[in-house]
Structure 1
């Protein structure tokens, strides 16, 4: 009888622990090989070029039961900037724009995360470029949260969009003829690292 009660108590304890682990916030590390930040703008009314910001690093903490406890921290090394046109990349990295020699990275750190409906999040945070910090709002979509089939680790995928002004970050060369507004599209995969990694 005692053994039966002990086993029952143990089972209840394990279930409670499992439920707690499931509900607790989970911190995922961004996978730079499956993450891209794409900036798009209008060029003199003729075209809408894009540039990619790769090599993204950072973490995403997500709490499904308390979304406000979620957070995002991202570093964008500007060495990963690519428009697929080398001369333009060099110009973007020069002191006319990002001045990468002095400011080698941009950062984003969330200040608030809110639910915006089923599978949607509103992420407000501070974007810092060239040591200038401005608030930015990301409208995010939760693509999938599950065990990754290739690693068996907890994983999450998100897309997000935002609009910002180049002039807010001292990147306003040729504005407004080249649009001041820049559209950002972000896609990311992130996973819980395996122990020891």
Structure 2
């Protein structure tokens, strides 16, 4: 009888451990935050926010307990055209000297079907904060074959108006609406990284 009680207690403990939320660190080398827009209707340029830093908490059994917090340093902004990068960092747009980072912090995570989530959060650019909803797909959650640690990957999309954040110059000829496409990998930090 004692063995049965111990086995049941152990099973509950192990089950609780696997059910607990897992904290991951975003991998900036495998994270792309891509913005695209219409330029006078002629082309659709793109811009990558690189050097991403952030933390993701994911609870597979209770997605409402999940969260994400991301910092996008404007020093990592890359339009693939160096002169345009400088223009985007100028006072015409992001004013990167004064506002060096954009941030996103989730306020709600909801299940939206198999491997689908809706993540609502606050996006802050130039000290202006607006709610944004990300449509998210869970790509994979498993031990990473190279890092030998738990890893997770997501894709996400959203649409925002750049004028909401004080970067609306040349709208509407250059479209006010910007499409965001995000892909990210994140891993459980090594013990020394978690301190």
In terms of Rg, which structure is larger?
A: 1
Q: Return the match for 1:43 from 39, 45, 48.
A: 39
Q: Indicate the residue corresponding to 1:90 in structure 2.
A: 86
Q: Indicate the residue corresponding to 1:122 in structure 2.
A: 118
Q: Indicate the residue corresponding to 1:81 in structure 2.
A: 77
- Cα distance in 2 for partners of 1:44, 1:131 equals 28
DSSP 3-state at the match of 2:16: helix
Q: Indicate the residue corresponding to 2:51 in structure 1.
A: 55
User: Number of matched residues?
Assistant: 193
Q: Indicate the residue corresponding to 2:155 in structure 1.
A: 159
TM-score in terms of structure 1 length:
0.94
The alpha carbon displacement at 1:84 in A equals 1.1
Deviations 1:56-86, CA, capped at 9 Å, x for gaps:
0111111111111111100001100001101
TM-score in terms of structure 2 length:
0.95
**How big is the alpha-carbon RMSD for the aligned residues of Structure 1 and Structure 2?**
1.2
DSSP 3-state at the match of 1:12: helix
- Cα distance in 2 for partners of 1:30, 1:13 equals 34
Gaps of 5+ in 2: none
16-25 vs 100-109, greater mean Cα deviation: 16-25
